[in-house]
A and B are shown apart, each in its own frame.
Chain A
Amino acid sequence: MHILFFIITALPHSLLAVDPLMIPPLNLAFDRALVRSEKFELQPKSDSDADILRSFRGDKGEYVRVIERDGIDPKAANGFFKSKMVQIKMLFTPQTVPYSGAITISAQCLSQARLQNKIQDHKGQRSVFFQLNATENFVYGTCAPEQEKFASQYLLLYCKKAKIFYELKFFAPKAKTRYATPVAHCL
């Protein structure tokens, strides 16, 4: 039996855990200072950057990217929620076509992205997630089914007590599976 083990111990009292029922086992663990697993690669953005970006992979081609921002007050977190949600939604908005003509007017993405989710606020956390598809380069917004290589969950999560804002992108090789509930939550 596979055992889920995906924990961020960013601060002693702030834990982020992935829901074991919703994603395939990743068998990964890390904290800010120490890589505990040989199976993922720590990629700090830069020495001076407050944002810590981590990416790691699982046994079945899963791939996770997490950006964590600490010291975030609720007002700033609300700003992050708003801007990140806008950036996702704008990928699927009809666009005026550059170098248009009398007939070539607009392009509309026919993707099946599910963008209706609203921010959930309970148990010391705020979160919202989107079910999206991604290209082989882990980019959202493709409107071409043949380019959709990964099923993905894009999760924005704010742990109130720890004042940490997480931006988590979970990718799995595209299958019928949809990740219909958040893949992680604050502990």
Chain B
Amino acid sequence: MRLPLPTVCKAFWGCLIALTLVSNISAAEGTKPKVYWFVPDGLRAEDEQFTIYKWAQSGELPNLQRLLREGSYGYSWPVFPGHTPTNFATLMTGTTPDIHGIADGAMRMVGYPLNTVARGGFSSLAKLVRPIWLDAEQSKYLVSLLSVPGSTPPQLVKGNTINGRWGGWGPDFPAINFHTRNDRSLMLEIGQNRRLFTFGSDLTRFLSASSPKNWSLKIPTSYSPPRELTLTNWGETIYALLYDSTDDHQENYDHVLFSKDRKHVLADVKLGAWSTWLPVTLQWKLGEPVPVSTELKLKVLRLGKRDQFRIRFLYNNLHQYSTSPPEVADAMNKALGPMVDFVDNYPPQLIYFPEDKNTFLEEARFSLEWHRKAVPFLMRSLKSDFVIHSIYTPNQMLTSRWWMPYLDKNSPKYHDVSEEARAQLWREMKEMYKGIDAILGEILKSADDNTYIFFSSDHGALPLYKEVRLNNLFAAKGWLKYRFDAKSAEFRVDWNKTRVIFLQMDNIYINSRGLGGIYQREHGAAYEKLRDEVVQELKNLKNEKTGEKVLAQSWKWEDAKLVNLPQDRVGDLIVANSAGYNWVEDISKDGIVLHDTLKGGYKQAVLPKNNKAMLTPFVAWGPGIKAGHQMREPINHVDQYRTIMHVLGIPAPKHATGKVLEDILRK
């Protein structure tokens, strides 16, 4: 006798059978189309300043120009909060955060302690509904996902998941700068921001040079005393010998010789140059170290007088532990060369010297070129017929110190540079957009008459002016209690005595009796009174110089639905900041709430629909899509999924809240 299947399996198999029928019909007719959905991260596009459609039509972006001529296009609004995890989840599921569950990158939840992150919003596991890649795989597509946030741990069975970002799966080796310890001012300025996400691995490490010892290889002639560095990162040590090749009676070091053993030359690199890619074996700490064979490219950014140095190590992060199946990494490395996926770092490190800016641009070129070459590999070598492809370079550039504050007319720093300097900054910015256009060109080359191309992004970016340390405000009010642990350089919150705290990216947690233990919502007069007081403090918060209010809007958790957020994954207050401001968790002894920042762009806790700079492109091209058609009004991100599912003939689930963009379809 057959026992009934559990409900979950009934749903799964019912869905599978239904989708199989749909795809079988298409396959039988020989009309199953291919799909390439290119979703660069943080690619701003609007009709006033970052006017990419005008750039395209003027011939600056020829491949986008063709897509506009032969397809339909317009702009698309992100959801709040306007950053990557929420908006990729929205694009990939066709739902708002109250349905897909991704309210943020690091989420606290009712029923869990606040001192730890209950759900990581970049993890594929955090979504409460199925993403489009599972829909596609069930419809017999061979899916490849390249650098797609929220795609790891891998969910695809037959398909390829390549370097999903920050999903808690696959070791990542961020680039590192080795910088002279003599530079005390940079040490003070960079503070905790020298580590990945503030508390991870080193992104900048300060160290001292010494006299060379035990070098058995022939040291090049140096006209100043050679100096030695020991550069160890991820368990791999490389010795660097700083030398001065110019016989000009000046102490001006201009070369670095690198060696793994002081016996054999690994690379001899002059100031301002990159090495070739060099083989290294890094040790990833997972209990006992796991050796990961990969490549390293190094650059000598700065040299000069004795012991002045800044050297960057950039790693290939495409390896057997970052792809599923693992063999894909090897095949891609052989075909495309080492991957540069993430330009600069988070927090940014290439923001302190002019050489940093040049290095950023070089890494951006590496990244754009690698992703361009990846397109035919995904389509032809992997035989994918459903590709979702992202690249993080636009986000990195639009939020970096160097460009946005001087390009966006709404920035307070707009007039800090000359028109000539701004023209150069626009050339650099447009070079990045041209790199994106080159990727579109490669996609067009790989497309046939039965291919759909979709081009969109998760969010735009706007200039950042001040960081807002709300927790300094709450500490001054006596609502937040903490101590500073000098040894670990971390702030230790006294959760039991803390009644109000801001936590990333847009949440304020409140409990009149203290926030220690398992977090539950408080009710009653004391809670309401305290919450009202907090709102009033936020409303009073102004930039004293400009008189601007910092708070754009706030909502009680009970009203989370008004901004399409899940009630159980938000704070007691949800807060949106005004354009130009950025909530941060930092607590500082100086107690200052509004701090200057070296970040140039921002998108997280602004209300997208109040800020045109948050708009993104949406372009559709393929059979049945109108040619040369521009949509009059911006669409919503949720509409993209519904439209893609519709043109593929795959039934969209009922929870998908967007609408099919009938306007772009030929009748």
Q: Which residues of A contact B (CB under 8 A)?
A: 43, 45-46, 51, 53, 55, 57, 59-61, 63, 65, 83, 86-87, 89-91, 93, 95-109, 135-144, 147, 149, 173
Q: Which residues of B contact A (CB under 8 A)?
A: 2-3, 5-6, 8-9, 11-13, 83, 85, 105-106, 115-120, 122-125, 130, 134, 142, 153-155, 157-158, 165-166, 168-171, 192, 196-201, 286-287, 290, 320-321, 324-326, 346, 383, 471, 490-491, 493, 501, 503-505, 584-587, 604
Shortest Cβ distance from B109 into A: residue: A144
Q: Are A45 and B197 in contact (CB under 8 A)?
A: no
> B383 CB to closest chain A CB, in angstroms?
6
| A144 CA to B321 CA, complexed, in Å | 24
| Besides A102-B587, A143-B125, 15 other A-B contacts (C-beta < 8 A) | A51-B325, A59-B2, A59-B3, A89-B286, A96-B196, A98-B106, A99-B504, A99-B604, A101-B503, A107-B117, A107-B120, A107-B168, A137-B130, A137-B155, A149-B8
Among B198, B201, B326, B585, residue most surrounded by chain A Cβ atoms (within 10 Å): B198
Which residues does chain B contribute within 8 Å of A99, judged by CB atoms? 83, 105-106, 197, 346, 504-505, 604
| A46 CA to B503 CA, complexed, in Å | 46
Shortest Cβ distance from B326 into A: residue: A83
Among A87, A104, A135, A136, residue most surrounded by chain B Cβ atoms (within 10 Å): A104
| A102 CA to B153 CA, complexed, in Å | 26
> A8 CB to closest chain B CB, in angstroms?
18
Which residues does chain A contribute within 8 Å of B3, judged by CB atoms? 59-60
Q: Are B120 and A141 in contact (CB under 8 A)?
A: no
Q: Are A108 and B587 in contact (CB under 8 A)?
A: no
Which residues does chain A contribute within 8 Å of B105, judged by CB atoms? 97-99
Q: Are B157 and A55 in contact (CB under 8 A)?
A: yes
Which residues does chain A contribute within 8 Å of B153, judged by CB atoms? 91, 139-141
Q: Are B119 and A144 in contact (CB under 8 A)?
A: yes
> A24 CB to closest chain B CB, in angstroms?
9
Which residues does chain B contribute within 8 Å of A143, judged by CB atoms? 119, 125
From B106, B196, B490, A107 is in contact (CB under 8 Å) with B106
> B73 CB to closest chain A CB, in angstroms?
30
Shortest Cβ distance from A137 into B: residue: B155
Which residues does chain B contribute within 8 Å of A60, judged by CB atoms? 3, 5
Q: Are B9 and A61 in contact (CB under 8 A)?
A: yes
Q: Are B504 and A104 in contact (CB under 8 A)?
A: yes
Which residues does chain A contribute within 8 Å of B170, judged by CB atoms? 87, 90
> A187 CB to closest chain B CB, in angstroms?
26
> B181 CB to closest chain A CB, in angstroms?
25
> B120 CB to closest chain A CB, in angstroms?
5
| A83 CA to B329 CA, complexed, in Å | 13
> A106 CB to closest chain B CB, in angstroms?
7
Which residues does chain A contribute within 8 Å of B154, judged by CB atoms? 139
With A96-B200, A99-B106, A135-B125 as contacts: A46 and B157 at CB distance below 8 Å: no
Q: Are B116 and A107 in contact (CB under 8 A)?
A: yes
Q: Are B158 and A142 in contact (CB under 8 A)?
A: no
Q: Are B196 and A101 in contact (CB under 8 A)?
A: no
Shortest Cβ distance from A60 into B: residue: B3
Which residues does chain B contribute within 8 Å of A106, judged by CB atoms? 116-117, 199
Q: Are A100 and B586 in contact (CB under 8 A)?
A: no
Q: Are A100 and B199 in contact (CB under 8 A)?
A: yes
Q: Are A141 and B200 in contact (CB under 8 A)?
A: no
Q: Are A98 and B117 in contact (CB under 8 A)?
A: no
Secondary structure dominating the interface of A = loop
Q: Are A86 and B286 in contact (CB under 8 A)?
A: yes
Q: Are B585 and A102 in contact (CB under 8 A)?
A: yes
With A89-B287, A98-B346, A101-B504 as contacts: A139 and B155 at CB distance below 8 Å: yes
> B95 CB to closest chain A CB, in angstroms?
16
Shortest Cβ distance from A140 into B: residue: B153
Q: Are A101 and B198 in contact (CB under 8 A)?
A: yes
Which residues does chain B contribute within 8 Å of A136, judged by CB atoms? 8, 11-12
Q: Are B585 and A104 in contact (CB under 8 A)?
A: yes
Shortest Cβ distance from B291 into A: residue: A82
| A87 CA to B290 CA, complexed, in Å | 11
| A106 CA to B192 CA, complexed, in Å | 15
Q: Are B13 and A93 in contact (CB under 8 A)?
A: no
Q: Are A105 and B198 in contact (CB under 8 A)?
A: yes
Shortest Cβ distance from A46 into B: residue: B383
Q: Are A83 and B320 in contact (CB under 8 A)?
A: yes
Which residues does chain A contribute within 8 Å of B287, judged by CB atoms? 89
From B169, B198, B584, A141 is in contact (CB under 8 Å) with B169
| A149 CA to B587 CA, complexed, in Å | 41
For the complex of A and B, list the 7 residue pairs with the smallest distance between their C-beta atoms, beginning with the closest: A101-B585, A96-B200, A107-B117, A61-B9, A100-B197, A98-B166, A173-B6
Q: Are B501 and A103 in contact (CB under 8 A)?
A: yes
Which residues does chain A contribute within 8 Å of B85, judged by CB atoms? 98
Q: Are B585 and A53 in contact (CB under 8 A)?
A: no
| A98 CA to B482 CA, complexed, in Å | 23
Q: Are A61 and B491 in contact (CB under 8 A)?
A: no
> A3 CB to closest chain B CB, in angstroms?
14
Which residues does chain A contribute within 8 Å of B124, judged by CB atoms? 139
| A84 CA to B343 CA, complexed, in Å | 29
Which residues does chain A contribute within 8 Å of B198, judged by CB atoms? 100-102, 105
Q: Are B8 and A141 in contact (CB under 8 A)?
A: no
> A4 CB to closest chain B CB, in angstroms?
16
From A45, A59, A95, A141, B125 is in contact (CB under 8 Å) with A141
| A53 CA to B405 CA, complexed, in Å | 52
From B9, B125, B383, B503, A147 is in contact (CB under 8 Å) with B125
> B123 CB to closest chain A CB, in angstroms?
8
Q: Are B321 and A57 in contact (CB under 8 A)?
A: no
The 23 listed contacts between A and B (C-beta, < 8 Å) are A43-B157, A46-B158, A53-B158, A57-B9, A83-B321, A87-B170, A90-B171, A91-B169, A98-B105, A98-B106, A101-B585, A101-B586, A102-B587, A103-B115, A103-B491, A103-B493, A103-B501, A104-B585, A107-B106, A107-B118, A107-B119, A139-B124, A140-B153
Q: Are B106 and A100 in contact (CB under 8 A)?
A: yes
| A140 CA to B85 CA, complexed, in Å | 20
| A113 CA to B525 CA, complexed, in Å | 43
Q: Are B383 and A101 in contact (CB under 8 A)?
A: no
> A132 CB to closest chain B CB, in angstroms?
11
Q: Are B584 and A91 in contact (CB under 8 A)?
A: no
With A45-B158, A65-B157, A102-B587 as contacts: A97 and B125 at CB distance below 8 Å: no
| A104 CA to B587 CA, complexed, in Å | 12
With A60-B5, A142-B125 as contacts: A95 and B504 at CB distance below 8 Å: no
Shortest Cβ distance from B285 into A: residue: A93
